[in-house]
């Protein structure tokens, strides 16, 4: 028993009366992973089949396979043929299995030899369909916080993650044998996901731990969906893909939250990082003084008494606040000098850059790193205002660059000499 591809000329018209049955997949929704084939013309008056039953597929029946569907033909508990290619197929009891592998190539032939005996009763002939589309929108969430070591905070933090993931069938025959229970006629992923969610959450924790090992900050976890998908596929490859014939295709993190202790620690570290900036610290000191004066002015016992108390307090803490302000000022000055130094270094590096006249590549050395052309010579000149320039006009006062003195040729030997030379370089003749 097997299937052969039906020609388009035998579909519809008067030849349709010769078909025993026409079978298609039952309604296949976005969450459906498996469904039985149903007769779409069982009540049609033109259907000549009067002897077929739900458990027997008559010879010559037509099976219609839509895109992204995998059809399995089962006879007596045995997978006898299949197709991963869309189209119309005719059941032929006398033919050998055709095995239309489609997108799966020869991989399915090896699986077919291992799983062609199923567990259904020996008297049933059935057609089943497996959904090859991506099954999306499978919700997940961590019931307990997941440990996460963050190098930036140098602390063990705890987070909760919520989102959704999707799966895709990679080996339909493995999926049929190892995931679909015997005698099942329709399976939604929600019907079977409970047994796999524990494995998924275990792999998710391992994937999150891998992000931690890679040095990803905890606040960036929600933006690492692509990396999580890759980690999850690796973690579940053996148990899901190799054994059960499906894999995690994508993981989307919709929200990440922290437990209370982690929130406190993160806030404390963030405040400490801000106070590491001397300008922020100085603003905090000045703000504390201003708040103290404001509180003193609104004291119900009288401003004079309040300012007297404030003066005593400031005398007691004045040395500390003065020292703090001096320290902040010194650090701010150092930062300013460092920024100025960096700007000067960057400006110098920019001044040393030149564009190769041959290949137009930007360089900083004496020769072009692409074509080897030597850096053009740049002659500077000093303007009467004192500014050193390289262009044709002074950017300070607008004066034009003086005309360069021309070289001269010796009237005796013809040697070319520099403009400032008074005697010939070759024969010593004095310049006229």
Between the alpha carbon of residue 269 and those of residues 148, 211, 266, the distances in Å are 16, 21, 5
pLDDT in tens, 210-233: 888 888 888 788 788 788 878 877
Rounded Cα–Cα distance for residues 179 and 182 (Å): 10
Domain ranges of the chain: 2-131, 135-263
Tell me the percentage of the chain whose pLDDT exceeds 70.
67
> DSSP 3-state assignment of 387?
coil
- The β-bridge partners of 90 are 4, 62
The CATH class of the 135-263 domain is alpha beta
Give burial (CB, 10 Å; 0-12/13-18/19+) of 118: buried
Query: From CA 262, how far away is CA 270, in angstroms rounded?
Result: 12
* All residues at 6 or more sequence positions from 1 whose CB lies less than 8 Å from its CB, including other chains: 73, 75, 80, 81, 91, 92, 93, 95, 125
CA angle 188, 193, 196 (to 5 degrees): 150
Summarised one tens digit per residue, pLDDT across range 62-115 is 889 999 999 998 877 788 888 889 999 888 776 555 556 666 665 655 565 555
Structure-model confidence comparison of residues 309 and 257, the more confident one? 257
Rounded distance, CA 319 to CA 317, Å? 6
Range list of H helices, 120-223: 172-178, 189-192, 194-213
pTM of the model: 0.55
Name the most confidently modeled range: 179-193, 251-265, 289-303.
Answer: 179-193
């Amino acid at each position: 028993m097997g299937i052969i591809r039906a020609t388009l000329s035998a579909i519809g018209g008067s030849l349709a009366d010769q078909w025993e049955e026409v079978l298609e997949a039952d309604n296949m929704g976005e969450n459906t992973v498996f469904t039985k084939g149903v007769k779409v013309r069982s009540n049609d008056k033109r259907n000549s089949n009067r002897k077929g039953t739900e458990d027997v597929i008559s010879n010559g029946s037509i099976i219609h396979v839509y895109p992204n569907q995998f059809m399995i033909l089962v006879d007596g508990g045995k997978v006898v043929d299949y197709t991963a290619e869309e189209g119309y197929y005719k059941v032929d009891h006398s033919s050998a299995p055709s095995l239309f592998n489609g997108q799966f190539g020869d991989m399915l032939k090896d699986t077919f030899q291992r799983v062609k005996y199923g567990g259904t009763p020996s008297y049933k002939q059935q057609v089943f369909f497996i959904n090859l589309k991506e099954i999306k929108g499978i919700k997940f969430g961590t019931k307990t916080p997941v440990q996460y070591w963050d190098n930036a905070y140098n602390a063990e933090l705890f987070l909760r993650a919520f989102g959704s993931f999707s799966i895709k069938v990679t080996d339909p025959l493995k999926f049929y044998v190892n995931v679909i229970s015997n005698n099942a006629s329709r399976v939604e992923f929600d019907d079977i996901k409970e047994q796999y969610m524990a494995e998924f959450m275990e792999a998710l924790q391992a994937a999150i731990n891998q992000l931690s090992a890679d040095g990803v900050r905890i606040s960036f976890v929600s933006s690492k969906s692509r990396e999580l998908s890759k980690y999850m596929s690796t973690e579940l490859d053996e148990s899901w893909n190799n054994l059960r014939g499906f894999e995690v295709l994508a993981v989307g993190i919709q929200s990440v939250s922290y437990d209370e202790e982690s929130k406190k620690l993160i806030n404390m570290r963030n405040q400490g990082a801000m106070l590491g900036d001397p300008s922020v610290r100085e603003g905090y000191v000045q703000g504390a003084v201003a708040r103290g004066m404001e509180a003193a002015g609104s004291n119900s016992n009288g401003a004079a008494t309040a300012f007297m108390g404030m003066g005593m307090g400031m005398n007691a803490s004045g040395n500390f606040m003065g020292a703090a302000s001096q320290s902040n000022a010194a650090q701010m000055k150092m930062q300013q000098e460092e920024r100025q130094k960096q700007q000067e270094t960057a400006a110098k590096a920019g001044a040393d850059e030149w564009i190769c006249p041959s290949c137009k590549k930007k360089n900083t050395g004496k020769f072009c790193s692409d074509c080897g052309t030597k850096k053009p010579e740049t002659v500077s000149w000093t303007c009467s205002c004192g500014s050193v320039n390289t262009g044709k006009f002074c950017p300070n006062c607008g004066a034009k660059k003086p005309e360069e003195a021309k070289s001269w040729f010796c009237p005796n030997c013809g040697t070319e000499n520099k403009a400032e030379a008074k005697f010939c370089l070759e024969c010593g003749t004095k310049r006229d």
